[in-house]
Structure 1
Amino acid sequence: MLASPVISQRLLEHLNTGVLLLDSELTVTYMNPAAEALLEMSGKRGLGVHFWELVVEADKDRDALEEAIVTGHSYTKREATIMLHNQQQVTLDYSVSPVAHPETRLPTLLIELQGRDRLMRISREEQLIAKQETTRSLVRGLAHEIKNPLGGIRGAAQLLERELPSESLREYTQIIIEEADRLRDLVDRLLGPRQIPKQEDVNVHEVLERVCQLIGVESHNRIRIRRDYDPSIPELLADKDQMIQALLNICRNAMQAMLESHTDTPTLSLRTRTVRQFTIGHNRHRLVVQIDIQDNGPGIPESLQENLFYPMVSGRADGTGLGLSIAQSIINQCNGIIEFDSQPDRTVFSIYLPLENL
């Protein structure tokens, strides 16, 4: 028994796959809600519009679409970068299938759309989290192997100091002790925060204002700070001091990059918003807070971007490369994640933290 057109349309409207129907002139005759969401165009506005007014692709893709009408051959394209009508870029998988219109029997193109941006982001996050876990395990093992002999070296230097016949020779044992202490402190910093987080309700804007105050002092007020806060964001459960440390590390990196590159009108922009139904790693959260920290500095060199959150990775000659590693570790403890997008004159670090207590 064949399904009625009404039932078929209802089924299409409940699909997660975007479905478009184009006539022989490539004019949109139907789009389901999933296609509306992917193309950011309501059905009422999209119907009767030429397909290339909704999306922008290369000429070869235009030719392929028109050729499908003529030849009747189907094709599929994976991870295509599409520019939407509102100048937003999205990544899609799409399949084009020439079919006969069920009523008019005229040539029609059936286009199935699958959004890839979210899946690609989840995949990147899973890889990032896995890399960070591996790095932390390596650092913990390395720290154990380093700190044990360091303790022995320091103890031996102290014993030797007591037996030295001349006070002037103690200068050398002090150098041994001080360098051993310096290496111990470096290992402790590599390990990140060691104390158990003190979970409490934290107002994210109080944290950001404290960070702004510290950045203003450190930069001697040479950094212009712009705020774009959503005052409706509820409190989140976190360690306030550690959260200040994480956000300060990111803002301090931005401040140093702008000042060292002599950026014209160095500006740090802070923005907060809530995002619903957001996935972090394997977990989907009903509500998360998004904190964007943007600067207009020179950007992060491409050679560093892949390993930016690893310890000891830094673009500065005198940098330790620990700030972002520690920040990511703190945010991970709160089940959140840090992402970034960087190009000259615009670098944005986005922190996502779940609001699970709502």
Structure 2
Amino acid sequence: MAFGTVARASKRFQAFDLLATLVVVIRHDGTIVFANSALEDALGTSRRTLEGAALGNFFVDAGTLRTAIDGARTNDFATLRYEAQLRRGTQEPLPVQVTLAQTDRKAELLLEMSPQEQQVRQDREVRLLDQAQANKELIRNLAHEIKNPLGGIRGAAQLLQMEIESRDLIEYTQVIIHEADRLQSLVDRLLAPHRRPHVVGDVNIHEVCERVRSVLLAEFPHDLEVERDFDPSIPEFRGDREQLIQATLNIAHNAAQALAERRAAGDARITFRTRIARQVILNKQWWRLALELHVIDNGPGVPDSIKDRIFYPLVSGREGGTGLGLTLAQTFVQQHHGVIECDSVPGRTDFTILIPLP
């Protein structure tokens, strides 16, 4: 293909470089006319190398692609979807969902490929978002339903305590008052993230990590190692610093408590790792850049029985836990248009905070 033709094609399709999905435009003979930057990254091959090459060379099964092209060429369908695998040099093939459609020029076809792992992740994020919204409504309704009768119970116990003289009976009323106060505190914690205003300012994520690290080391000064693995190129961004400190602290503190056996053995470790993610879809929106903050521990892992429910309110894997820490953390991060993900196996648990960057 002549250089001028390549340049014109690249200019005509340059909008596809904004997409996170893999996009390629081909002729009916399978020759690549244009490949977007996401496909370049996925294949580890430059656009100059891809354009003019046969697309079938990059598929594990080129026969299915050929059949799809023939069907489009003979107008058997307007759009076709199927699953395939992309070759990536020495790496494992990449499973993708292929959507093949005709362009405005009859001699060209457009293929959009979504990595299946990316699709799974997007589906999971949608579920988390829906779950968080349902949790928010449940918490608000439940808290308000508890709050009013709770005040009445406490007030009645106080009045009763003023009328009785028996020390044994007073102890009972004090138990009622104490438990009412404890439930009131729980209700306040449930409502806290919905009451507190979102205070936006410039946030340095490494300052957030250092603050959390100092709190952890103050509580576990002798038996916990807290490592840093920072990417210094990550820019400041607009956000609520205190909310992000609280979200990170809730995750890290859970990790430190889960490391009880490791702390006793003297090899407990938590790592804060920051990285830049590129071309990320968060909450159904595409972002060119996103912050990745990993909180990694070498503990026993999240119990299988609660892995799918760890962000639900009042779900805890620790005896005596309230099950609010991760729920509040997820709420705070979602207020920054982000999400928290968890990947856990025995010996390594990785909570990842993803927040879009401008």
Q: TM-score, normalised by structure 1?
A: 0.75
- 1:313 partner letter: V
Amino acid at match of 1:93: Q
Whole-Å separation in 2 of the counterparts to 1:9 and 1:232: 33
Question: Distance between the aligned counterparts of 2:212 and 2:221, measured in 1?
Answer: 14
Distance of 1:79 and 1:294 partners within structure 2: 34
Q: Is the 8 A contact 2:99 2:111 kept in 1?
A: yes
| Local SS of the residue matching 2:145 | helix
CA distance 1:6–1:53, shift in 2 (3 Å): closer
Which residue in 2 is equivalent to 1:244? 245
1:303 and 1:80 map into 2 onto residues whose CA distance is 34
The question of whether the paired residues in 2 share the 8 Å contact of 1:54 and 1:85 is answered with: no
Q: Distance in 2 between matches of 1:343 and 1:89?
A: 24
Deviation, structure 1 residue 216: 1.6
Alignment of 1:1-358 (within 5 A): 11=9, 14=13, 16=16, 17-18=23-24, 32-34=34-36, 35-42=39-46, 65=62, 78=82, 84-85=88-89, 87=91, 90-94=94-98, 112=111, 114-116=113-115, 117-193=117-193, 194-260=195-261, 265-356=267-358
Q: CA deviation at 1:167?
A: 3.4
Distance 1:30 1:348, change over 3 A: same
Listed one character per residue, the Cα deviations across residues 25-78 of structure 1 (whole Å, up to 9, x for unaligned) are xxx9868534433323336777999999977x7xxxx6xx569989x9989884
Ranges in structure 1 where 5+ consecutive residues have no aligned partner: 97-109
Q: Is the 8 A contact 1:53 1:85 kept in 2?
A: no
How far, CA to CA, are the matches of 2:66 and 2:286 in structure 1?
A: 41
Give the direction of change, closer, same or farther, for the CA distance of 1:49–1:335 in structure 2 (3 Å limit): closer
Task: Tell me if the contact between 1:77 and 1:94 (Cα under 8 Å) persists in the aligned partners.
Answer: yes
Cα distance in 2 between the residues matched to 1:94 and 1:284: 19
Q: CA deviation at 1:280?
A: 1.9
Aligned residue pairs: how many? 330
Whole-Å separation in 1 of the counterparts to 2:297 and 2:51: 41
- CA deviation string 1:136-195 (max 9, x = no partner): 101110111111111110000000001002234211100000011111111222234332
Rounded Cα–Cα distance in structure 2 between residues aligned with 1:80 and 1:318: 48
Secondary structure, in 3 states, of the residue corresponding to 2:316? coil
> How far, CA to CA, are the matches of 1:233 and 1:274 in structure 2?
7
Instruction: State the percentage of identical aligned residues.
Output: 40
Secondary structure (helix, strand or coil) at the match of 2:153 reads: helix
- Aligned residue for 1:37, secondary structure, equals helix
Q: Look up the SS of the partner of 2:182 in the other structure.
A: helix
Question: Distance between the aligned counterparts of 2:57 and 2:230, measured in 1?
Answer: 35
Alpha-carbon displacement from aligned partner over 1:213-270 (angstroms, at most 9, x marks no partner): 1112222332222212122323222332222111011111222223346677332221
CA contact (8 A) 1:292 1:348 kept: yes
> Counterparts of 1:340 and 1:38 in 2: how far apart (Å)?
24
The Cα shift of 1:303 comes to 3.2
Could you list the per-position Cα deviations for residues 103-128 of structure 1 after superposition, in whole angstroms to 9, with x for gaps in the alignment?
Answer: xxxxxxx9956123444433322221
Where does structure 2 lack aligned partners over 5 or more consecutive residues? 17-22, 73-79, 101-108
Equivalent-residue separation in structure 1 for 2:64 and 2:58 (angstroms): 19
RMSD over aligned Cα atoms = 3.9
Distance 1:288 1:214, change over 3 A: same
Deviates more, 1:332-341 or 1:284-293: 284-293
Amino acid of the residue matched to residue 209 of structure 1? E
TM-score normalised by structure 2 residue count: 0.75
Distance 1:233 1:313, change over 3 A: same
Contact 1:68/1:74, CA 8 A, preserved across alignment? no
**Counterpart amino acid of 1:252?**
H
What is the rounded CA distance, in whole Å, between the counterparts of 1:48 and 1:346 in structure 2?
A: 45
- Summarize the Cα distance change of 1:255–1:80 in structure 2 as closer, same or farther, 3 Å threshold: farther
The 2-side partners of 1:249 and 1:78 are apart by 42
Shift of 1:300: 2.0
